[in-house]
Amino acid sequence: AQSVTQLGSHVSVSEGALVLLRCNYSSSVPPYLFWYVQYPNQGLQLLLKYTSAATLVKGINGFEAEFKKSETSFHLTKPSAHMSDAAEYFCAVSWYNQGGKLIFGQGTELSVKP
Amino acid sequence: NAGVTQTPKFQVLKTGQSMTLQCAQDMNHEYMSWYRQDPGMGLRLIHYSVGAGITDQGEVPNGYNVSRSTTEDFPLRLLSAAPSQTSVYFCASSFDFTGESPHEQFFGPGTRLTVL
């Protein structure tokens, strides 16, 4: 069965430090992969998506993610964390001909220390 | 555009009561869906629709009903509320998946439901 796993339910970094949020997927067919961000008491907002055009995907707010088929991973990174990055981040997967259905990971809460 | 709107923002029910969570979008999206968000479990798909008159079950459909009579609206009905349905509910919409590239799903602000 297709699934998504996010390693680490909580990640804490210092302001200015590298942000690395991990996502691994399990799929028997080529996936489409997404990262969403959720700020407190709000809905989800798309950060970036992988759709097989390029393995390194750049998103909003300085985030990027790299699709690595051999590792079945789609980790999210940002070179320098900002206080405003504190939020919950969700990795999600979909597949061709799935009508837009998304399977979400469990989420990773990012804290940024001053 | 208002995007995806949800009402109410908060709701408290007693076990056994029924209610309808409202969702509307003004972007002419074909695809609409309902998710529930629970701590440590991410978002799980309840029901979805690929157009007016067409609905299907997601991962956790039990205890919920949906219908889609118009493109704009996709209400979620709780038939007989149970404490296990205490959750935050999100509605989302997008243009339908066309095969080459999935479209971004736009999420509403959520409804926080407590069942006592």
A48-57 pLDDT, tens digit each: 998 877 889 9
CB pairs under 8 A between A and B: 72
Contacts of A104 in chain B (CB under 8 A): 35, 42-44
Q: What are the C-alpha distances in Å from B22 to residues A30, A96, A106, B76, B109?
A: 35, 29, 26, 7, 12
pLDDT of residue B11: 96
Q: Of A53, A90, A101, which is closest to B42 when you measure between CB atoms?
A: A90
pLDDT digit string, tens, across residues B20-35: 999 999 999 999 999 9
- Tell me the pLDDT band of A100, cut-offs 50, 70 and 90: low
pLDDT of residue B23: 98
pLDDT digit string, tens, across residues A69-91: 999 999 999 999 999 999 999 99
Q: Give every CB contact of residue B39 below 8 A, 6+ residues apart in sequence.
A: none
Taking residue B33's Cβ as centre, other Cβ atoms within 10 Å add up to 29
Amino acid at A2: Q
Average pLDDT rounded to a whole number, residues A96-107: 80
